[in-house]
Amino acid sequence: MKKQFIISTLILFLFNVSFACTNLIVTKGASVNGSAYLVYLNDGEWLPHLSVTPAADHNINDSLIFTSLSGKKYKVHQVAHTYRHVGILMNEHQLSIGETTFTGRRELWDKTLPLKYWELMRLALERAKTAREAIKVMTSLVEQYGYGSEGESFSIVDPDEAWIMEMIGTGGEGGAVWVAKRIPDGMISAHANHSRIGEFPLNDPENCLYSKNVIKLAVEKGYYDSSSGEPFRFNDAYDPPTPAHLKYTETRVWSIFRRAAPSQNFSPDYHRAVPGAKPYPLYIKPDKKLSLQDVFSLIRDHYEGTPFDMTKGIAAGPFGNPYRSGPLQWEVNGKKYSWERTISTPQTAYVYVAQVRKNIPDNMALMWYGFDDTYTNCFFPFYIMSEKVPEAYAKGDFNKFDFKSMWWTFNFVSNFAKVCYQPMVKDIKKVQYELESKFIKEQDSIEKTALNRQGAERIKTLTEFSIKCANTVHDRWVELAGYLVMKYNDGYKKDEKNRVHSLPYPEEWLKKVVEIEGEKYLIEDKKKK
């Protein structure tokens, strides 16, 4: 319980792969039941442990030690009390945070300064109750001690408000450059490794906050010409787009928006870098209010049904595998190419969905949690005040496979599915939907029971439910792993009566084989010779 969520030996590795995350914000007015949601996919090849840091009292004369990426150590002041929190994700007051890295102007990245983005997230959860307080905590800390990360977009959600804050360094001048915009109620927003805040108001503190140097530094560095007559846009100044960058990042935003609001007919032109194409808005109104399962669905996506569908084409193989081996970009005959960067990816380390609700006590703060690929994993409900963490989610060694680890179990199933993806994924999705539907259905009755109980009894009720759901996911996924191996053994497929059948290649794929190298497989009809 007292272990830090980010194990010290993995900090640098997480940093190296952090330019690969996706966030979705759903405000309370955009959801069916009045919950706000924050979805954070942390994409990177590392093995996290789910853990809780308890609330604690401290001596304010004590200091915290932080080390910059250059190895320099700094002291940061302690506060009298820190709140209970799960990793860098959510605290006991339902304050929830996510991030995606946009890097931006590399010359502004000062690696000698101490506070990295994940440290700011943790400090905000420890010291703030609301989104506005979190913004104040994070910005005041970097102003006092310095910001040691690259460009970063933060999602910050509480029971009343949802914000996106974007921050980048100053290139050796101390502090940071930042802007934060509130997402209006009834709207949804998304970001995915590209700065999303463009033009912003300078005199609306209820809805927009920013650093004093935000325009001044851009002018000094030559990122913005104040005499041009053009409005200042944060993202154009500090994270100027390129065709490759837009394809990698904005395609994910486009796909979330086009699925949540198909009536708005969002064009792919911007993420394909068509000259003159307008950037996607920071937030949109969905066509209908979203349920929790709708939220899950939006971040399970390979661009199916679009021209960028990764389950189609010769590269997807005979069984529609949406995943490609890295690197994402490649070159043939002097020309550069890249695979699509989809929302669902095998490299997701963990994903959480904060369900933030104004009408419940803080000691019922809830998140839905899972490891690995969103398309083939399964969420379970975890209450922040739970007395313990599910064992399978708190263990695992990145260098040693173990079915006792939920991370490894999810990874086994998702990796094995690549052998025969489309047939296998149907079996996986069936169990995924069954369990998640069951947990959501049971949530109401469990919470009604918990509301009628006080103190330790309430916490015990919620803990038992979390543990039961987590253990159910683990048991069913271990069972599912064995079932898939049995059903699809040696390239065959067994039916419901365990009769073995061939699993033929689709005709369209065979036509492509014939087109490319048909002579190699041609059977001669000697009678016609």
Distances 221 to 105, 170, 213, 238, 455 between C-alpha atoms, Å: 10, 10, 12, 10, 56
- Tens digits of residue pLDDT in 368-377: 999 999 999 9
Same domain for 109 and 238? yes
Same domain for 264 and 374? no
Give the count of domains, the chain: 2
Same domain for 293 and 424? no
Mean pLDDT of the chain: 94
3-state helix, strand, coil in the chain (%, to 5): 35, 20, 45
Same domain for 266 and 364? no
- Tens digits of residue pLDDT in 229-280: 999 999 999 999 999 999 999 999 999 999 999 999 999 999 999 999 999 9
How far is 199 from 188, CA to CA, in rounded Å?
18
Distances 402 to 4, 10, 409, 483 between C-alpha atoms, Å: 22, 19, 7, 17
Q: Does 515 reside within a domain?
A: no
Dihedral-angle region of residue 212 (phi above 0 means left; psi in -120 to 50 means alpha; beta otherwise): alpha
Q: Does 322 reside within a domain?
A: no
Same domain for 288 and 406? no
Question: Which tokens hold the place of 425?
Answer: 């994924």
Q: Does 67 reside within a domain?
A: yes
Q: Does 256 reside within a domain?
A: yes
Q: Across residues 282-291, what is the average pLDDT? A: 98
Question: Which tokens hold the place of 364?
Answer: 């019922």
Same domain for 377 and 258? no
pLDDT of amino acid 19 = 63
Same domain for 96 and 219? yes
Q: What is the pTM of this model?
A: 0.94
Task: Tell me: pLDDT of 525 over 80.
Answer: no
Same domain for 366 and 294? no
Q: Does 501 reside within a domain?
A: no
Same domain for 65 and 197? yes
Last residue of a domain, one of 282, 299, 316: 299
Same domain for 208 and 94? yes
Same domain for 131 and 223? yes
* Packing angle of the helix pair 421-451, 455-487 (nearest 10 deg): 170
Would you say 135 and 166 are in contact if contact means Cβ atoms under 8 Å apart?
no
Query: Which residue range forms the structural domain that includes residue 96?
Result: 8-299
Question: Which tokens hold the place of 438?
Answer: 């069951």
Q: Which of 60, 109, 132, 42 is nearest to 349 (CA)?
A: 42
How far is 504 from 161, CA to CA, in rounded Å?
53
Q: Does 340 reside within a domain?
A: no
Q: Does 92 reside within a domain?
A: yes
Residues contacting 186, CB < 8 A, separation 6+: 27, 29, 30, 285
Q: Between residues 498 and 95, which one has the greater pLDDT? A: 95
Same domain for 485 and 389? yes
Question: Which tokens hold the place of 343?
Answer: 């929302």
- Tens digits of residue pLDDT in 149-197: 999 999 999 999 999 999 999 998 889 999 999 999 999 999 999 999 9
Residue 528 pLDDT level (bands cut at 50, 70, 90):
low
Instruction: Say if residue 104 is exposed, middle or buried (CB neighbours under 10 Å; 0-12, 13-18, 19+).
Output: buried
The percentage of residues in the chain with a pLDDT greater than 70, rounded to a whole number, is 95
